[in-house]
C-alpha cells in the first residue's frame, strides 16, 4: 500500500505540515517529534495523524514528546486516533476529532450530474452571508467555508444561496475541500453538486483534493464523489501536571 500514489501524496502533505523532519516510514510505532509550530494541531497541543497504517505525532515540547513516546507505544496504530484509547494512557484535558482524512485522484473522480444550476462566486462574496447566518457558527467552523481561497461554487433557491463549496489552498499542492448547506436544504444532494464543482476545479489545476470530516453525512458525500478514506487525525492537549 505504501507505493499507492494517492497515499504517498497524502503522507507528504502531513509530513510537510509537521514543520520538522518526520516520516510515516517508522517501523517502531508512531514517529514522535518535537514541533511547537506544527500544523497538525492547535498551538501547544499534540497532533496525531494515521495514514495507511502508519502514524506521525507532533509534540509541543521535549518533555511532552517523551511522555507521548512511552504512552503511545502500547496503543495499536489503528486505535491511535480513538480518543478513549489515547485518554486511557495519557493525561488529556481537551480533544479535537477524530476527523477522517480522504483523498481523490482524477481517475477515481465520480462527478455529480451537471444540471446547470451551479454558479461560482468570489470568496467572501456578500451573497454567502445569508448561508453563513443560517448555518450557525459551529457548522460554519466545521465546514471551513470562510477560509476558501478558490472560487466558491453555489446553488441558489431564488436569490438565496443554499449550498456552497470551494477549497482552501494547502501546502504540497493540496486543495482542502470545504462544503456548507443551509440546514433546511440538507438531504437534497446539493452538497454533492457544489462539492463536485469544487473538486473538478482543483483537479483541473493539478491539486490533490482532501476531504477532512467528522459527520457521517459529510463522509458519505465524499465517498459518492470517489474519495478514498486513507486515515484519520486527532489533536489533544496534554495536562502534564496530572499523575501519569
Would you state the pLDDT for residue 92?
94
Dihedral sign for Cα 117, 121, 126, 131, please.
positive
Residue 98 grid cell: 477524530
The residues, any chain, with a CB within 8 Å of residue 48's CB and separated by 6 or more, are 30, 40, 41, 55, 56, 57, 80, 81, 86, 233, 234, 235, 236
Cell of 103: 483523498
Question: Which residue stretches of 93-153 are H helix?
Answer: 129-135, 137-143
% the chain with pLDDT above 70: 97
* pLDDT for 2: 66
The grid coordinates of residue 151 equal 472560487
The DSSP call for residue 150 is S
105: Cβ contacts below 8 Å, ≥ 6 apart:
5, 6
Q: What is the mean pLDDT of the chain?
A: 92
Name the residue with cell 499534540.
Answer: 46
Dihedral sign computed on CA atoms, order 237, 239, 243, 244: positive
6-22 per-position pLDDT tens digit:
999 999 999 999 999 99
Pairing of β 208-213 and β 92-103: antiparallel
Question: Domains of the chain (ranges plus CATH)?
Answer: 5-99+232-238 (no CATH), 106-226 (3.40.630.30)
Question: How far apart, in whole angstroms, are the C-alpha atoms of residue 177 and residue 53?
Answer: 24
Q: What is the pLDDT of residue 241?
A: 66
The 10 Å Cβ neighbour count of residue 126 is 8
The reported pLDDT for the residue numbered 243 is 46
Tell me the per-residue pLDDT of 121-168, one tens digit each, with 9 for 90 and over. 999 889 888 888 888 888 888 888 889 999 999 999 888 999 999 999
Mean of the pLDDT values across residues 200-226? 94
HSE of 214 in the Cβ direction (CA atoms, 13 Å)?
Answer: 14
pLDDT of res. 84: 96
DSSP per-residue string spanning 173-193: TEEEEEEEE-GGGTTSSHHHH
The pLDDT of residue 138: 85
| Whether the Cβ atoms of residue 241 and residue 231 lie closer than 8 Å to each other | no
pLDDT given at position 240: 77
- Cell numbers of 243, please? 499523575
Q: Say yes or no to pLDDT of 239 above 80.
A: yes
Whether 92 and 236 have beta carbons less than 8 Å apart is answered as yes
Q: How far apart are CA 26 and CA 63, in angstroms?
A: 21
Measure the CA–CA gap between 58 and 26, rounded to whole angstroms: 14
Please state the pTM of the whole predicted model.
0.92
pLDDT at residue 29, rounded to an integer: 82
Confidence bin at 244 (pLDDT 50/70/90): very low
Identify the residue with better confidence: 36 or 135. 36
Q: What is the mean pLDDT of residues 44-70?
A: 96
Amino acid at each position: 500500500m505504501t507505493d499507492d500514489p494517492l497515499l504517498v501524496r497524502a503522507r507528504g502533505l502531513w509530513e510537510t505540515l509537521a514543520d520538522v523532519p518526520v516520516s510515516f516510514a517508522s517501523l517502531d510505532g508512531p514517529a514522535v517529534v518535537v514541533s511547537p509550530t506544527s500544523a497538525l494541531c492547535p498551538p501547544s497541543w499534540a497532533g496525531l495523524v494515521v495514514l495507511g497504517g502508519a502514524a506521525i505525532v507532533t509534540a509541543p515540547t521535549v518533555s511532552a514528546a517523551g511522555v507521548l513516546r512511552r504512552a503511545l507505544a502500547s496503543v495499536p496504530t489503528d486505535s491511535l486516533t480513538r480518543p478513549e484509547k489515547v485518554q486511557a494512557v495519557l493525561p488529556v484535558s481537551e480533544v479535537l476529532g477524530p476527523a477522517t482524512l480522504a483523498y481523490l485522484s482524477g481517475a477515481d473522480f465520480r462527478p455529480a450530474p451537471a444540471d446547470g444550476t451551479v454558479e461560482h462566486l468570489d470568496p467572501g462574496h456578500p451573497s454567502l452571508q445569508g448561508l453563513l447566518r443560517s448555518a450557525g457558527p459551529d457548522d460554519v467552523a466545521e465546514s471551513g467555508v470562510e477560509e476558501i481561497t478558490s472560487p466558491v461554487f453555489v446553488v441558489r433557491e431564488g436569490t438565496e444561496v443554499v449550498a456552497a463549496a470551494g477549497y482552501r489552498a494547502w501546502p504540497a499542492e493540496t486543495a482542502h475541500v470545504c462544503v456548507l448547506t443551509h440546514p433546511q436544504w440538507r438531504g437534497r444532494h446539493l452538497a454533492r453538486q457544489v462539492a463536485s464543482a469544487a473538486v473538478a476545479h482543483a483537479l483541473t489545476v493539478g491539486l490533490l483534493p482532501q476531504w477532512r470530516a467528522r459527520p457521517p453525512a459529510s463522509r458519505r458525500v465524499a465517498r459518492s464523489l470517489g474519495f478514498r478514506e486513507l486515515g484519520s487525525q486527532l489533536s489533544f492537549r496534554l495536562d502534564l501536571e496530572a499523575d501519569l
